[in-house]
Amino acid sequence: MSATPSVPAAPSASAGPAGSRPEAPPTQAELLDFVRRTAADAELIDSLPLDPEGRTWIRLDGPGGSEAWLIGWPPGTGTGWHDHADSVGAFLTARGELRENALAARLPTDGWKTLELTEDVDRERRLPAGEGRAFGRHHVHEVLNESTDAHAVSVHAYHPPLPRIRRYSRSGHVLRLEQVESPEDWQ
């Protein structure tokens, strides 16, 4: 993977005058609105360098102190199963098409290494350009570019900024915690 420097995106709302209450954290709907508006910025989307073999990204300034990313996906790449710990988030495909496989079950957050999933927890979404979704805390999913010949580009936002990412392996209905990453592992 290669990375490029942080770039400001759409302006964030001001916290207000000195002594006022801090601004409320962005909601899932506000994060989805941000990724939708950012994905419509053709100049920003075009600024992302695309690598034929690995994902590329640019860190963006998200709303209300959120963490945001513009990500390029070469054909055949994906994230593997993971969650975003205590952060809520949203992402939207700006170009190409992505697929999200997700679990429609609330998993225990800590204290386990292996879980057996029931048969009815799998969900799949196809997200062509202009389509996205918001999600809550501890949302377990994987995101894939299944194209054999076209890059995809997406915009992601998380609040609070990602404290950790838990990575999982999956074999049939068994989900196993494999690794816990902290921000210094991906920034």
CATH superfamily placement of domain 24-185:
Jelly Rolls (2.60.120.10)
Q: What pLDDT, in 10s, does the model give residues 46-84? A: 999 999 999 999 999 999 999 999 999 999 999 999 999
pLDDT at residue 21 in the model:
60
Residue pLDDT, tens place only, 105-144: 888 878 899 999 999 999 999 999 999 999 999 899 999 9
Please state the length of the chain: 187
pLDDT higher than threshold 90 for residue 172: yes
Question: Which sign, positive or negative, has the C-alpha torsion 118, 182, 145, 6?
Answer: positive
Report the DSSP pairing between strands 2-7 and 56-61. Answer: parallel
Residue 27 has pLDDT above 50, yes or no: yes
pLDDT in tens, 85-112: 899 999 999 999 999 999 998 888 788 9
Domain ranges of the chain: 24-185
pLDDT, mean of residues 165-176: 96
Residue 32 CA to residue 134 CA, distance in Å, equals: 6
Q: pLDDT of 145-166, one tens digit each?
A: 999 999 999 999 999 999 999 9
Contacts 24+ apart (CB under 8 A), 172-175: 173/116, 173/117, 173/118, 173/119, 174/114, 174/115, 174/116, 174/117, 175/81, 175/103, 175/107, 175/114, 175/115, 175/116, 175/117, 175/140
Check whether 184 has a pLDDT greater than 90: no
Q: What distance in Å separates the CA atoms of residue 84 and residue 137, rounded to the nearest whole number?
A: 7
